Structure 1
Amino acid sequence: MSNFMTSRTAPVAVALGLACLAGQAAHADGVPSAQRPVGEVTMSVGPVIRTPAQGLPETVRRGTPIRPGDRLDTADGGHLHIRFIDGAMVSIRPGSRMWVEDYQYNPQQVSMSLVRFKLEYGVARAISGAAAEGAKDRFRLNTPLVAIGVRGTDFVVRAGEATTRAAVNQGAIVMAPFGDGCNAQALGPCGTTSAKLLSADMGQLQVEFRPQLAQPEIKPLQGAVFASNTQDPGNGHVVLARNAAAPATPAGDHPESERLATTALAESAVKAVMTGQAAPPPPPAPQPVPPVVVLPDPVPVPPPVVATPEPTVPPPPPILQWGRWAAVASGDAAIAVSRAEAAEGRSVTVGNAQYSLYRATNGLTDLANGLGSYSFSLDKSYAQYEVSGAMSPASVEQGRLTLDFGNARFATDLRVASQLTGAVLISGAGAIRGDGIFFDRTVPGQAIAGAAALDGKSAGYFFEKAIGAGTLSGITLWSRP
């Protein structure tokens, strides 16, 4: 987002000057500060609508003023950038709705500034300005599920009825679900026990909350979570390239043209003979026919039989392959190889601290069309129970996996046993994405994540479940006829 990540030094200085002038003019024209613009649209692409607190909806263009109470809606293909008077910047992605509930910036007393946004649904990116940096405890971004406070931040949020996710590019945020001690009318981060802090220093992570959870979860960052159906114009431009023109057909590849040319030459020769321009050569004189001598057929001698061994055709490499992080196998040699070997001709899909599942695409980018619902058989598995770094073997006694590609759902059950845990049932269900990846973390202390081959004929997943003081985990591979 090149036009969104420029240095803020000059814009902030200009914004401060504008704010001071605005504050001086307030006494002269008598316009209440709540009705004064607090920002301006710097870019508007596609259908974008601004609905003021009191007034009619209007189409947003570059230069449209933004006031407290404004509701901003971007349809599919719509995209909006806003620069506020304190230098803060907000990008609202396609298919989103965001409210500027309140925006008060006081350059003389920055600590008394107040900023409150509400992202009802969709994706938005916010870069803090002087107000949020100088009054961190008076900044708030609410979604239908959580409150988000900042610590001088550049962050991205995706909000919906069932999930809120956020990632941090710079600084830190605090996410807390609404409830006792955290309400939408308050300001700043909620200080409840269920609040989670996510900092850019923590690496490529995201924080996610769903209503069935007691508190937000920190997870590995998934780039697709924050993608929209239109590329952010600030991060680059979409370029559509035509394929190169097909090469001309080589000479000799025109059988119909050759047939017509041959026929034309034959007709010219016949016409020449009929008009006397040329005479056909005389027929050859008859030659005596030699007598026919019939000889007996020789007795056929069969050739010697030589047994030719059938050529050995190596089996094709597997589409799905587990790769281990460890340098040496530890009982998993039948199902896992080194990560370098697993990555040959394949790309990674899911993984945990011990294994990653690699998949060959064979030219596909998404699941093949026309796939239905299938029951899979368990081909290979490996399981273990870990307590305080000590590993003990476990075994998968039986399992079931159903992938319903038509309805984008999966369901599975595993019976896993070890001497320390006895028999344990691991059961999960959830959605299948268009790229074949599926996962379920709805059961507390349990995680299931895997991927299907893009032709829908095989699958694999890992599982983890907290049992007592340790963790029961393993990897699986499945196939169908």
Structure 2
Amino acid sequence: MFNSRMHLRQVAAGAALLLASAGALAAEAGRVVFVSGDVQLGRRAVALNDAVQEGDEISTGKSGYVYVKTVDDGLLVLRPSSRARIEAYHIDRQNPANTRVKLELLEGVARSVSGSGVKAARQNFRFNTPVAAIGVRGTDFTVFTDQETSNVTVLSGAIVVSGFGGSCQPGGAGPCEHQASRELSAAQAGQVLQVRRGRAEPNLLQGGAVSPDAAAPPRSDEPGKSSGTSTSSTEPSLDPQKASTVLQLALNNVKQTVQPPVTAPADQPVVQEVPPSQLVWGRWASLAGQPGTLKGSEIVAAGGKVVATNSYYSIYRTQGSDVLLPQSGSAAFALNQSEALVSDSATKLVTAAALSNGQLNVDFGARTFTTGFDLTTGKDTFRLNAAGNMSENGAISAINQFLPSSNMNVSGALGAQNDAAYIFSARLDARRTANGVTYWVK
């Protein structure tokens, strides 16, 4: 009996020690640099400059906004009616392999801007929602989620998104990268990756009503964002000068996308800078009962132009400044995103294919390009290559797939933001043909 009681005391003491140690190990993840409206940190109201620790849960009411500057100079924004948890925020600047960052949006809308620690260890960053895992490429992205659906859009950089299932589980660390995961970059302006509960593969949609900004618009002072919404006079506010100073110090690493108006003397006209055009791609055709992911008519209505199209995919260039190509030199691009389908004339089936080992090399002086990648369908892998010409406006084309150096047709363009995109088609064997679209970055 005595020994049993001693054992229970030892277990209790050990448990208390473990709890105390866990509390001691909880590190500061960041500091509150702006708060407005109803915002709670656990069960208490949030105040300016409050520390946010690993394990903390932050929630906002119907009028609540909070900006948290992370310890590695990143940014976490929560908009109204949202709830998030900082599961882990450990930055090891000496050995980035030891960095561990994991955030979870339980409901509502959040924006995440990668800090220097996350950028140095992107493989150790995970942003969970109830239905999806998000990884980054050094990124600024916005997320809406409820318990059934998550919608994600990108402001800069790129993300990789996967629904939970198989090897991708909520308890994991780092991005989920597999055949069903999908990437989205800032070059795909206005597009959204949507994940529904129980589905590993995200759908690529046009923004609009499904954009996170539509669910909870940003304040007009959110760094790098602008909004036409006004702030209610009943919300508590900071001294404007103090708020401006705090935000500038906290977010000096966040690139501002809204520039102040240019003033000029009365006798000189004001020249408005035209933003660069962007390449937008997607599947326009319906497939297996699923609608296409790209509405080209909306892009054209907004001043965009068709770059290339085939039986399934299209590429558009949005309205903006022209592509300025060097007159000499060369450049190499890396395959950033892709989607491909293989059609079997015997079975009448259309199946997804994966691309890897991509290369795109451009000779600006000769106005030529070469490209290639491995296409895997089922157990078979094919090496597809093409060589062709480039026009003065950046259009690329290789239409003779029977040349020794080419076994696929290619049509696309270089972009204005050090990127490129093209659609391709190729005959793999007597029964199978491949169609797809690729997106490349320097």
TM category, shorter: 0.3 to 0.5
Q: What is the TM-score of this pair, normalised by structure 2?
A: 0.46
The structure whose Rg is larger is 1
Normalised by the length of structure 1, the TM-score is 0.42
Higher relative contact order structure (alpha carbons within 8 Å, sequence separation ≥ 6): 2
